[in-house]
Amino acid sequence: MLYSKEVDHVLNEEVWLVANQKLLAKMLAEYKYEGMIHPEVTGESENGKVYELMVSDGKKYRFTAKPRLFDSLDVEPHTVEVSVEGNWVKAKSAIELLLDIQPMIGMSAETAGHLIKELNHTLLADAHLLMKDSNPADELIHEDYSKIEGEMSGHPWITYNKGRIGFGYDDYLAFAPENQQEVKLLWIAVHKDNASFQSVEGLTFEKVIEDELDETEVSRFEAVLAEKGLKRADYFFMPIHEWQWKNVIIQTFPEDLAMDRIIALGEGDDRYLPQQSIRTFANQTDKTKNHVKVPMSILNTLVYRGLPSERTLIAPRITAFIKGIYENDPFLKEECRVILPGEIASINYAHPQYEQLKHAPYQYLEMLGVIWRESIYTYLEEGEQAVTLAALNHVDKNGKPFIHSLVEQSGLTAEEWMKDFFGIVMNPLLHYLYQYGTVFSPHGQNTILVLKNHKPYRLAVKDFVDDVNISDQPFEELSGLTDDLKAVLRSEPPEGLTQFIFTGLFICHLRYLSNVLDRSGLMNERTFWGLLARSIKDYQAKFPELEERFKLFDFFKPELTKLCLNRNRMVDYGYAEGDDRPHASEFGKVDNGLALFQLIEK
């Protein structure tokens, strides 16, 4: 199949140019932030400062940008030009820029080759988004949580954010979240000798299946086993993604299939929408049913999107730990009323050969498993609406920000809205950190804002299994943790723990939200960051007994270590096949914009 209709619809010179201009602006801003390129100011215009970047003796780039706090730039896409032998013309190719800076930043040809593929995949997806018949912001704010997810454009910081290595074009059309195609999950049976089921206390495997499958589905699946002369009691039923089955399971687990350790059962009846992480699915047939997280062994952003076996195994215990804190803390439970959709059950199936291989590349230990997470819908009360923080960065095709529409509908001023927002978001995150030495990674997908009458009302945080870490300090609150939990949660020194909020939320999300508000004239960036600083000080004023920990986890230091996501792929890690997932690179220091507000009175 040629997909000529789809290709012709999205790929033309005008759309391709716009997609490249947007990506060029993002590359220039983020590579400058990460210290890979060093453009110099050569002048000023009414829209900002004019920068030039020399890439070779006869070639340079020019663009207009507004300097922002945290060493950042807000680059105007339409201003990016390239000069060859003194003639300035509009820059039209993001990949040309990549090739131009390759020798400057020390990127290998192997890495550049793979990255060209990822950037082309990203540009193709961006072209689809440009041609998508998407809802204007004024309508989108009334849309359902799982539908809003499909309007997002990917990671705001990583420039190759829709690389999805492993997907064919047919897979992209069928499974990419922005295409909003409902899917059915496949189901398999895995032998209990080779698989393990874990759950929160009191939840049985039988109850999980009763909640996920109706009697007709169960009977149909049992009949498959009976036809083979196999006993239902010897197997766990588990959902998998069609792509994983066709591309990974059949080819990589053939012995298990031959020996009836894995049995194909058929397709489930429920329909799901993929969320931004691609591998997490929200049930559309019954929204109160669990969200399902399954491995998809595609390379996207920094990592393969599998399910790490050690974290899958312990996911329900991490949920019990996080919820145990909540249940015993009146501030979190009664004042914040924070929502914690838990990873309540999981199945892990270990590969028989890769599990025996020392230092096996990590992706081969993440191929077959499932995590069931409580649905956010089961926590919402009358009049409440959930949106990920990522949605607040969304700007519609008419240039109107999603958050602008929310502010208008709320009846609040932008400053009142953001003051409420920071209080709602920061209080529970800071309390877990300061009081319990425990931190989430509250980036735009993990952190969910619950609105009421379009106003910030409550916070929800998800994805404990991948993104909860603890302090390495001898806190009494952590003394009861078992060694195996500590090993999976990972202990971090004070600045390392602070970074989960500083980089995960401030740099990875709020940096862009500040730009959206400033560009739209809703709020200048100093007011924005001042309100954030105020919310931190307000929390600290409520809990003066934690003052030593405020110093330990200090958000107002003049500089913090700069963590880099693009640099990790492009320079440090490349496309290596290591035994551990790549992590953000450390490179230099970032000037902390919050230090300007250190002297706010409590």
Q: Give the model confidence (pLDDT) of 100-120 as tens digits.
A: 999 999 999 999 999 999 999
Taking the C-alpha atoms of residue 572 and residue 586, their distance in angstroms, rounded to an integer, is 10
Burial of 261 (0-12, 13-18, 19+ CB in 10 A): buried
| DSSP secondary structure, 435-499, as one string | HHSEE----TTTEEEEEETTEEEEEEE--HHHH-EEESS--GGGTT--HHHHHHH-EE-HHHHHH
Residue 47 half-sphere exposure toward CB, CA atoms < 13 A: 12
Q: What is the pLDDT of residue 261?
A: 98
Q: Parallel, antiparallel, or unpaired: how do β-strands 491-492 and 469-471 relate? A: parallel
User: Do residues 303 and 582 make contact, with C-beta atoms less than 8 angstroms apart?
Assistant: yes
Taking the C-alpha atoms of residue 59 and residue 87, their distance in angstroms, rounded to an integer, is 10
Phi/psi at 599 (5° precision) = -95, 15
Read off the tokens for 260: 């009836």
CA 495 to chain CA centroid, nearest Å: 22
Q: What is the pLDDT of residue 600?
A: 59
Q: What is the pLDDT of residue 444?
A: 85
Burial of 373 (0-12, 13-18, 19+ CB in 10 A): buried
| 479-to-313, 437, 467, 472, 475 alpha-carbon distances in Å | 22, 11, 20, 11, 7
User: Do residues 318 and 488 make contact, with C-beta atoms less than 8 angstroms apart?
Assistant: yes
Q: What is the pLDDT of residue 487?
A: 81
State the pTM of this model: 0.96
Instruction: Give the 3-state DSSP-derived string for 289-345, with helices as H, strands as E and coil as C.
Output: CCEEECCEEEEECCEEECCCHHHHHHHHHHHHHHHHHHHCCHHHHHHHCCECCCEEE
Phi/psi at 53 (5° precision) = -125, 115
Taking the C-alpha atoms of residue 189 and residue 221, their distance in angstroms, rounded to an integer, is 9
Helix (H) or strand (E) holding 593: none
pLDDT digits (tens, 9 = 90+) for 200-233: 999 999 999 999 999 999 999 999 999 999 999 9
Consecutive 10-residue averages of pLDDT for the chain (602 residues): 95 97 98 98 95 95 98 97 92 98 97 98 98 95 94 96 97 97 98 97 98 98 98 98 98 98 98 95 98 97 93 93 97 98 97 96 97 98 97 96 98 98 98 97 92 98 88 94 86 94 97 97 97 98 98 97 97 93 94 88 50
Q: What is the pLDDT of residue 601?
A: 53
Q: What is the pLDDT of residue 602?
A: 46
Instruction: Give the 3-state DSSP-derived string for 97-108, with helices as H, strands as E and coil as C.
Output: HHHHHHHHHCCC
Q: Which domains does the chain have, with CATH numbers?
A: 181-294+304-376 (no CATH), 383-563+590-597 (1.10.510.40)
Read off the tokens for 106: 């020390």
User: Do residues 295 and 369 make contact, with C-beta atoms less than 8 angstroms apart?
Assistant: yes
User: What residues contact 60, with CB distance under 8 A and at least 6 apart?
Assistant: 52, 53, 54, 82, 83
CA 86 to chain CA centroid, nearest Å: 42
